[in-house]
Amino acid sequence: MPRGLRSLALGARTRVREAFATARSRRRDPRRRFKRTDVSVQRVRHEDVWARVSTVGRTGERTFVLVPGIGVAATYFERLAPALNEFGPVHALDLPGFGGVPHPPHARHMSIPDYAALVGRVIDELGLVDPVVLGHSMGTQVVAELAAQRPELTTIVLLGPVMNRHERRVPIAGLRFAQSSLREPRRVALLAVGAYLLCGPRWFSRVLPEMMHYPIEDTVPRIRASALLIRGEHDRLVPPEWIEELAESMPHARAWEIPGAAHSVMHAHAEEVARLCVEHARAPQPDRDEAELKRYPDAEIDRSEEDAPIADPLGAARGRVTELVGILTDDDSLIAEGKTQHAEATDPAALRDDA
């Protein structure tokens, strides 16, 4: 970029950051108490890459670490994280190349073990003692690899584990993803579009082969942790026979199917997923006879959250814009502010507390 244009860009970036900082300082009250919707953001570095860690909650029975799938960001857990926060603190990750986090310099590839090493570094850096580590989609590969490398981890959760070894070809996987997407809530589609735009096709296409060729079926038998596997009823990427095959190959696993859910099972069905996760974390280690796929009771499904209207849509939109500006200006405090605004706007209880 020419020097003149670079100076203009840096100046504009500085002015935007200052404008948002001024608005933020006007809203802040030094006497304000910590609320359950408050989100903090920090970075954890490992070699030449780093992860963004968004945290909700401070205390609790057990800590959760959430690892998203290919192309998407921690925002995919925006409903699950508050539900898990009733149990303990939650750390949701944005990995290199996703959610506005830079990919490795010099166009270096990142393999699934590379991502697992970074997640392990997050656990070490934050001083987490035996957290429950949860992955979704490609994140299940990362979590499986991490658990195989770290036998001290005792509890993991795999949501929509990929890739089905019987359909490990890009055209078929694309078709299955499209079929599943038809069953996703509209809000998930909006989240996906924004996340994929931040990721960009170039980095997505570099990571896709790593996900497609990773043999998760060879990794999970080496895991000694207590594992919970969950699929959505309409998840065509993760058919019932595939999740049962994985569960049966693991020493200690449970498998559940949630009615009405698709691949992004943790969004519209956050309460059900959170309930299964908490019960799993508290339960004794499962035996091999518990690997058979069970169906979550239809009568206990809460369908009120499926595409339910947002309590404060303007506040939620303002939060998204603030977060995006924080990403584009590389300002973690703005990202945290935007995430907190969005959490408050989508939580009716938080709105009542402010009234």
Q: Number of helices (H) and strands (E), helices first, in the chain?
A: 14, 9
pLDDT band of residue 91 (cuts 50, 70, 90) is: very high
Rounded to the nearest integer, the mean pLDDT of the chain is 87
What are the pLDDT digits (tens) for 141-155?
Answer: 999 999 999 999 999
Q: Measure the CA–CA gap between 323 and 292, rounded to whole angstroms.
A: 42
Give pLDDT, residue 349: 60
Which residues fall within 8 angstroms of residue 8, CB to CB, at 6 or more apart? Answer: none
**pLDDT at 66 (0 to 100):** 98
Residue 19: per-residue pLDDT: 47
Cβ neighbours around 162 below 10 Å, total: 27
For the record, the structure tokens of 121 come out as 């570094």
Q: In the prediction, which pLDDT does 213 show?
A: 96
Query: For the segment 17-46, what is each residue's pLDDT rounded down to a tens digit?
Result: 544 544 454 344 444 455 778 999 999 999
Is the pLDDT reported for residue 12 higher than 60? Answer: no
In this model, does residue 168 exceed pLDDT 90? yes
The C-alpha atoms of residue 199 and residue 294 are separated, in whole angstroms, by 35
Whole-model pTM?
0.88
pLDDT digit string, tens, across residues 202-235: 888 899 999 999 999 999 999 999 999 999 999 9
The residue among 302 and 275 whose pLDDT is bigger is: 275
Query: Residue 185 — very low, low, confident or very high, per pLDDT cuts 50/70/90?
Result: confident
Q: How far is CA 86 from the centre of its chain?
A: 17
